[in-house]
Every structure is written in C-alpha cells, then in structure tokens.
Chains A and B, each alone.
Chain A
Amino acid sequence: EVQLLESGGGLVQTGGSLRLSCAASGFTFSSYVMSWVRQAPGKGLEWVSGISGGSGSTYYADSVKGRFTISRDNSKNTLFLQMNTLRAEDTAVYYCAKEGAWFGDRIDNWGQGTLVTASS
C-alpha cells in the first residue's frame, strides 16, 4: 500500500523559512515523479513543484520560483520542499503527491497534507 506522510508544517513569520518533508513507502520511490500541491484556505488545488525520479529535472509554479526548492533523497524515500521568503499567500495545506514515471501524468496517490501558516 502506498503511503505518503508529510511533516514540517507550522506557523512561521512572513519572510521566514520552513522545510517540508514527505516520507514515502509502498512503492519504488526512485522510479516516480513526485510533486507538491497546495490548497489555500477556501481555495482550490494549486500545483507547486515537481521533481523527476532521479532528481535531474525540477519544475516550479511561477508563484514560488526563486523562493522554493524541491529535492529528494532516494536512499531514504523522502521528498523535501525548502520554502524561503514565505509570504502570507503561501499559507496553505501542502500535499505530497506521487505521479507517474515522467511528468505529465495523473496523481495517483496523495498524502494527508501539512499546514503552513505564514503570518506577521
């Protein structure tokens, strides 16, 4: 059974930093694209960033480019999202998501999410 467990969320001042983690199990982690998707309060889903299985390719939404960095440790089956210079509009539940072997595929498993609140 695929399991994705996010951690690292919390309350942070605007301008601050936070690092999210996602522990994966139940599948061959290194073979799949992994992504982060967020949902702001009262809003819909927004794709944030994705990384290929071997970490050779990464992509970001324009809204986070230059501030967020996605990475993964395939030896520990863990996905990360380093979030710097946080803004109030980054406040959201952040979901870890498993895609296919390459980008441009559906998300077939999601984590439960971790809440990030950026406030002054």
Chain B
Amino acid sequence: EVVMTQSPATLYVSPGERATLSCRASQSVKNNLAWYQHRPGQAPRLLIYGASTRATGIPARFTGSGSGTEFTLTINSLQSEDFVVYYCQQYYKWPPVTFGGGTKVEIK
C-alpha cells in the first residue's frame, strides 16, 4: 500500500497570501495524484488531477505540481472560502487508492 504523507497538518496563512501544501508518496506514483478540497458537511471537491491539471471550474489560483513522490498544491491569493481542508490521493497503485491525512488551512 502506498502511504501518502501531507505536511503541515495545519497551515496558517493570511487572506490574500499564498499557501503551499505538500504531499509525499512512499513510492513513486508517477503523476497519478489528485487534490481535493473538503468543507465540513459537504462533499469533497476535485481540484487537481494528473498532478497538475485543474478540474472543470476550478479557479486558476489553484496550481498543482510535482511527480514521482513529491507533490505540491499552491493556492495563490487566498480567499475566505479557501480556508478548509485539503487531501491528496494517489491512484497509481491500487487497490487500495490512498489518501494523505489532510492539511487544514486556517486564517493567520
């Protein structure tokens, strides 16, 4: 099973600033990496797939990068609705697909 590790667990950022979230895989997952945004009580939302492709309707301030074992989600110019939890997921080696533990973005 591929273990996904996200850091930091909590990230404190000021509105309008940039957030940089990290995700590391225990072995190479090539570019089979997705990022999801999860608001409490709501359905998770796909942000990025293929490590760097924005899903339909996702604003350009969300950028994904990386390949192999190291991945980054960058959120530029943070808006109030961006202060929620983000998960990475690998779908290269399955079953099972596996998720990181999440990064919560909080207002500084």
Q: Give chain A's interface residues, CB within 8 Å of chain B.
A: 4, 44-47, 50, 59-61, 95, 103-113
Q: Which of B27-45 contact A (CB under 8 A)?
A: 32, 34, 36, 38, 41-45
Partner of A106, one of B91, B98, B100, B101: B91
Partner of B94, one of A4, A44, A59, A110: A59
> What is the size, in residues, of chain B's interface with A at 8 Å between Cβ atoms?
26
Instruction: Determine whether B59 belongs to the interface, using a CB cutoff of 8 Å to chain A.
Output: no
CB-defined contacts of B45 to chain A, threshold 8 Å: 110
On whether the beta carbons of B87 and A104 are closer than 8 Å, the reply is no
Smallest CB gap from A35: residue in B: B97
CB-defined contacts of A113 to chain B, threshold 8 Å: 43
Residues 46-71 of B, flagged 1 when their CB comes within 8 A of A and 0 if not, give: 10011000010000000000000000
On whether the beta carbons of B99 and A50 are closer than 8 Å, the reply is no
CB-defined contacts of A45 to chain B, threshold 8 Å: 36, 38, 44, 87, 89, 99, 102
On whether the beta carbons of A104 and B89 are closer than 8 Å, the reply is no
Instruction: Please measure, in the bound complex, the distance between the C-alpha atom of A109 and the C-alpha atom of B43, giving whole angstroms.
Output: 8
On whether the beta carbons of A112 and B92 are closer than 8 Å, the reply is no
Q: Give chain B's interface residues, CB within 8 Å of chain A.
A: 32, 34, 36, 38, 41-46, 49-50, 55, 87, 89, 91-92, 94-102
Tell me whether A47 and B99 are in contact in the complex, defined as CB-CB below 8 angstroms, given that A103-B94, A105-B91, A107-B34 are known contacts: yes
On whether the beta carbons of B92 and A104 are closer than 8 Å, the reply is yes
B35 CB → nearest A CB, Å? 9
On whether the beta carbons of A44 and B95 are closer than 8 Å, the reply is no
Tell me whether A106 and B44 are in contact in the complex, defined as CB-CB below 8 angstroms, given that A44-B87, A47-B99 are known contacts: no
Smallest CB gap from A97: residue in B: B44
A4 CB → nearest B CB, Å? 8
22 A-B pairs whose Cβ atoms sit less than 8 Å apart in the complex: A45-B44, A45-B89, A50-B95, A61-B96, A103-B94, A103-B95, A104-B32, A104-B91, A104-B92, A104-B94, A105-B91, A106-B34, A106-B50, A106-B89, A106-B91, A107-B44, A107-B46, A109-B43, A110-B43, A110-B44, A112-B41, A113-B43
Partner of B43, one of A46, A50, A59, A112: A112
